[in-house]
């Protein structure tokens, strides 16, 4: 038994577990139900679920083609494009929010035309929340799906083409089933990131109860006004995230970490 490694690993586990224990310890169990059914909490929870699922859907619709492009098409500047698309993973979310504001705000580079031509305003709206969440979440899906596509034997797709299948049929019947574990894992990661999104949302979409105040924003705000409520809301978010990770752990993450099987 490599004891030093075990000790260090145990410290790491404690490091992740302690904050959770701290929350449970301070949780106002007798008033929990009241805070949970509180209007602010329910509204924020519903808004968080709706916007994070929308952001996940958008990430899939645009992220899968992007991942395919990055994995399969050898175009000049591909490395730069990949770095650009993954930038928001490492960018401080607040910076992302500011950048979104100057691009898509009412006086922004593109936002002014959205406003003038289509009457679409994104900042400080629920749609703006979705945009901010998609901005930070999509890279997680792209990076996961791209890795799976790179591992996939390109001859599977070629075999399909020689059998009379179009590109689209090949994608649906061969590529998609083969990368499905990675797609699910990437979607879950993106969803979790969107659900937890704070900085870009508050910068770009503000903090209006009912339209842009998502759970993380509600937690942060109630910390100043009512710490007990903050703890309950935080525990709800932890429970949701933990539940999803647990239910998916072996089925999907296990399948992703194994190399894609090619017909023996």
Partner 1 sequence: MTLAARIGLQLGTLDLQVELELAPGEVVALVGPNGAGKSTVLRCLAGLVALDDGRIELDGAVVDDPVTDVFVEPEQRPIGFVFQDHVLFDHLSVLENVAYGLRARGVARADARERARQWLDRMGLADYGSQRPAALSGGQAQRVALARALAPDPRLLLLDEPLAALDVGTRAAVRRDLRHHLGTFDGMRLIVTHDPVDAHALADRVIVLEAGRVVQSGTLAEVTAHPRTRYVADLVGVNLVSGGVVDGVLSTASGARVVIADAPDGPTLATIRPHSVVIGRGEAPGSSARNTWAGSIVDIDRLGDRVRVVVDGELPLTAEITGSALADLRLAIGDRVHASVKATDIEVAPA
- Using DSSP's 3-state secondary structure scheme, residue 192 falls into helix
The CB-of-4 to partner 1 minimum distance in angstroms stands at 40
Q: Is 212 helix (H, G, I), strand (E, B) or coil?
A: coil
Q: Which is nearer to partner 1, 98 or 255 (CB)?
A: 255
Q: Is 177 in the site for partner 1 (CB under 8 A)?
A: yes
Site for partner 1 (CB under 8 A): which residue of 99, 178, 221, 236? 178
Could you give the dihedral angle defined by the CA atoms of residues 255, 258, 260 and 264, in that order, rounded to the nearest 10 degrees?
-110
Among 149, 174, 194, 200, binds partner 1 (CB under 8 A): 174
Q: Residue 226: exposed, middle, or buried by beta-carbon count in 10 A (0-12, 13-18, 19+)?
A: middle
Site membership for partner 1, residue 254 (CB under 8 A): no
The answer to whether the CB of 189 falls within 8 A of the CB of 141 is yes
**Selected range binding partner 1 among 57-65, 92-100, 134-142, 163-171, rule: CB under 8 A:** 163-171
CB of 178 to partner 1, least distance (A): 6
Residues 6+ apart with CB under 8 A from 118: none
**153 binding partner 1? (CB under 8 A):** yes
Nearer to partner 1, 56 or 160 (CB): 160
List contacts with partner 1 (CB under 8 A). Answer: 153, 155-156, 158-166, 169, 173-174, 177-178, 261-264
């Amino acid at each position: 038994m490599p004891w030093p490694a075990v000790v260090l690993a145990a410290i790491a586990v404690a490091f992740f577990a302690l904050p959770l224990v701290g929350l449970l310890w301070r949780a106002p169990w007798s008033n929990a139900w009241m805070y949970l059914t509180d209007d602010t909490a329910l509204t924020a929870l519903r808004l968080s679920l709706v916007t994070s699922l929308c952001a996940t859907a958008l990430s899939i619709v645009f992220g899968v083609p992007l991942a395919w492009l990055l994995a399969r098409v050898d175009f000049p500047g591909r490395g730069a494009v990949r770095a650009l698309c993954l930038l928001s993973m490492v960018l401080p979310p607040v910076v992302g929010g500011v950048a979104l504001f100057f691009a898509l705000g009412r006086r922004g580079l593109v936002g002014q035309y959205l406003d003038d031509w289509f009457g679409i305003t994104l900042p400080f709206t629920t749609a703006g929340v979705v945009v901010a969440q998609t901005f930070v979440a999509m890279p997680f899906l792209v990076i996961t799906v791209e890795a799976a596509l790179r591992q996939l034997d390109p001859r599977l797709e070629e075999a399909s083409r020689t059998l009379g299948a179009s590109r689209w049929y090949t994608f649906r019947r061969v590529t998609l089933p083969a990368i499905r574990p990675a797609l699910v894992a990437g979607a879950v990661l993106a969803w979790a990131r969107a659900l937890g999104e704070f900085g870009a949302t508050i910068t770009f979409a503000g903090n209006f109860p009912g339209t842009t105040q998502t759970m993380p924003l509600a937690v942060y705000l109630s910390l100043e006004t009512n710490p007990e409520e903050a703890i309950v809301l935080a525990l709800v978010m932890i429970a949701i995230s933990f539940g999803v990770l647990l239910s998916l752990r072996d089925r999907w993450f296990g399948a992703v970490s194994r190399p894609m099987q090619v017909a023996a």
